[in-house]
Amino acid sequence: MTDQNIFAAVLDKVRAANTALIADGVLPSAIDQSRVVVEPPRDAAHGDMATNAAMVLAKDAGKKPRDLAEAIATKLRSDELIAKVEVAGPGFINLTLKPKAWIDELRAILAAGADYGRSETGQGAAVNVEYVSANPTGPMHVGHCRGAVFGDALANLLAFAGFAVTREYYINDAGAQVDALARSALLRYREALGENIGEIPEGLYPGDYLKPVGAALAAEYGHDLLNWPDERRLPLVRQKAVDMMMAEIRGDLAALNVKHEVFFSERSLIEGPTDQVARTIAELREQGHVYQGRLPPPKGAPIEDWEDREQTLFRSTDFGDDVDRPLMKSDGSYTYFAADIAYHKSKFDRGFRDMIDVWGADHGGYVKRAQEAVKAVSGGTAELDVKIV
């Protein structure tokens, strides 16, 4: 057995048997074998492996699956590594290998060591795997940990299979949640200076994890921030809080031995040299995917982002969604969806046609529109695969 993957080796033998039947005139020369698989049988008593070859080829061959299975089985019985071949049910073929096959495979495992199973299946194709991406408004929780382990394992498997994998973390450091984080940290700063701040107001983050942020601000600025206007101090406090939260998150990821090559800032989409969200919306408008209009009133359960006003809308119904989606809020700021479209456009611009996002279960309803957006910004040339943890 020369192939490291014993299932792939046996699949080659099944295909060789089918090729012999083509030469015999039993199968047509142009028959498609791409759906032929070799896998473990559902019942271990049925043998070591099973193939669906006769079941998927019979229609194109113009034969009964069971009759074709018998013909394939006859070819396979002459193979030196196959001990027994049985036809079961409507045309499944069960295979039992000789002990030599398993001994050769053990030798291959020992010879390959940690590289056993490594392949070039991916042929160096670029794949972006985005996972964890916890909001920097607090420490990681167990759900983030699950996503971290799943995403990293998936990225490792893809790399092992020959794909060029980029592991990415999307930092949600823009929008209302980080503005609330900044105001929460400012309260903890005043507390660190000795002020009694009382109960944390509703809408802010009450966690004690922000006390070190307040203490760090007090140590660095003393009482100075108290005299600064919000438009000057809040951006500074926000950045300090995000940096310290991300440092804690990076520490937790390091403890899990999870490493990302890219940490992408949402704020960079808006505050970089070009407002990439505005540019993406403009490009989609030129393509007819964005328009000014009104959403109809919701039917049944209310739609969270529905507002009875003229607004900038993405034509997600063109891609199978049940309603078009807003891109701008009434205050002129971008919706989360708008930033997310621009972010995935950035991935596309960086050369990724295959994107995998690992999300928490609370984002399950968001999958379809995100996939629609990737189709729109890529002209249908990129694909987003979302894994829900």
Query: Domains (ranges, CATH) in the chain?
Result: 6-101 (3.30.1360.70), 126-171+259-388 (3.40.50.620), 176-255 (no CATH)
First to last CA, the chain: 38
The residue type at 354: D
Q: What three-state secondary structure class fits 353?
A: coil
pLDDT at 2: 43
Query: Which pairs with CB-CB distance under 8 Å and at least 24 residues apart come from 201-207?
Result: 204/180, 205/137, 205/138, 205/180, 205/181, 207/138
What's the CA gap between 373 and 338, in Å, rounded? Answer: 9
0.75 exceeded by pTM: yes
Comparing CA positions, the residue from 43, 50, 70, 45 lying closest to residue 10 is: 50
pLDDT at 304: 64
pLDDT at 1: 42
What's the CA gap between 179 and 9, in Å, rounded? Answer: 58
Query: Which pairs with CB-CB distance under 8 Å and at least 24 residues apart come from 347-353?
Result: 347/128, 347/168, 347/382, 348/374, 348/377, 348/378, 348/382, 350/128, 351/126, 352/126, 352/127, 352/128, 352/166, 352/382, 353/125, 353/126, 353/378, 353/381, 353/382, 353/383
Q: How many residues does the chain have?
A: 389
pLDDT at 279: 97
pLDDT at 251: 97
pLDDT at 301: 58
Residue 204 token pair: 């802010």
Per-residue pLDDT of the chain (389 residues; tens, 9 = 90+): 444 579 999 999 999 999 999 999 999 999 999 999 999 998 999 999 999 999 999 999 999 999 999 999 999 999 999 999 999 999 999 999 999 999 999 999 999 999 998 999 999 999 999 999 999 999 999 999 999 999 999 999 999 999 999 999 999 999 999 999 999 999 999 999 999 999 999 999 999 999 999 999 999 999 999 999 999 999 999 999 999 999 999 999 999 999 999 999 999 999 989 999 999 999 999 999 999 999 888 776 566 666 688 999 999 988 888 889 999 998 899 999 999 999 999 999 999 999 999 999 988 888 999 999 999 999 999 999 999 99
Q: Which residues 6+ apart lie within 8 Å of 266 measured at CB? A: 170, 171, 172, 173, 174, 175, 339, 343
